[in-house]
Amino acid sequence: MSVPALSQPNAGDTTAWHAEHWAIGNDIEVLPRIFEDHTNIAIMRRELDAPLLASVAAQCHVDRAWQWSWLGSPDAEMQADLLRRLPAPAEARPLVDDIQTLAEAMAYLFEADMIGIRLRLLDSAMCPRFHCDNLPVRLVTTYHGPGSEWLPEAALNRAGLGIPSADKPEIVADAAGIQHLQVGDLGLLKGSGWVGNEPRGLVHRSPALDSGQKRLLMTIDPA
């Protein structure tokens, strides 16, 4: 992956950040825009090809939810462990290859020797309340089912974040402004643990799932 030269925005220009704090594109070169001071989400739109969709479907045709996690280098040992743990290993190669590519890209982009990965088949919303993560950055992608939801600043009341209480306002200031990641999209979410981004971590939540609906979610954190 070739990382383009990044612009140097004015860190004090909060007006620009409130007006447009996201970067969305169809090419991988949109992802390094997460380094821009005013950007707290970078999204690469992508469609999964037929072999990958078939591989994903095979892992979802199970009776129970499952998960796999890894903390280490994105290497052959990681691939072997994932193949051992997936419920349908015979059909797993396209999914494993995609995860390997994304893990290597995250390690390269953030100059990380280790990455943390979680791959989970969910049958209920994991984090249904809007929140921001207390970590620097996370890659989120949904292989099956509805994608993560996030709020632009114009649709958000940050005073409502945190532990719910009767005197707190609603987090969502404009329900029509709720944004959705689609299947296959790569979302880089900047959290409140990113130095200089403490008061403005990306606010997001897990989507609601209908009865019987499943979601295959992967997150990657540079470690």
- Residue 186, strand partner residues: 44
Nearest one of 205, 137, 206, 129 to 160, comparing CA atoms: 129
The H or E element containing residue 221 is strand 215-222
The pLDDT of residue 215 is 96
Percentage of residues in the chain with pLDDT exceeding 90? 82
The pLDDT of residue 126 is 75
Q: What is the mean pLDDT of residues 25-44?
A: 96
54-63 pLDDT, tens digit per residue, is: 999 999 999 8
- The first and second tokens of residue 137, run together, are 């950055």
Cα(8)–Cα(36) distance, integer angstroms:
7
Cα(144)–Cα(120) distance, integer angstroms:
11
Fold observed for domain 49-222: Jelly Rolls (2.60.120)
Read off the pLDDT band of 19 (50, 70, 90).
Answer: low
Q: Cα 53–221–141 angle (5° rounding)? A: 25
Q: Where are the domains of the chain?
A: 49-222
86-129 pLDDT, tens digit per residue, is: 999 999 999 999 999 999 999 999 999 999 999 999 987 777 89
What is the DSSP-derived secondary structure letter of residue 136? S
pTM strictly above 0.75: yes
> Which is higher by pLDDT, 177 or 15?
177
> Which is higher by pLDDT, 18 or 136?
136
Cα dihedral 85, 90, 95, 99, rounded to 10, equals: 40
What is the DSSP-derived secondary structure letter of residue 87? S
Residue 146 CA to its chain's centroid (Å):
13
What is the DSSP-derived secondary structure letter of residue 66? E
For residue 150, give every residue at least 6 positions away whose Cβ sits within 8 Å of its Cβ, in sequence order, or none. Answer: 41, 178, 179, 181, 187, 189, 202, 203, 204, 205
The pLDDT of residue 34 is 97
Q: What is the mean pLDDT of residues 37-62?
A: 97
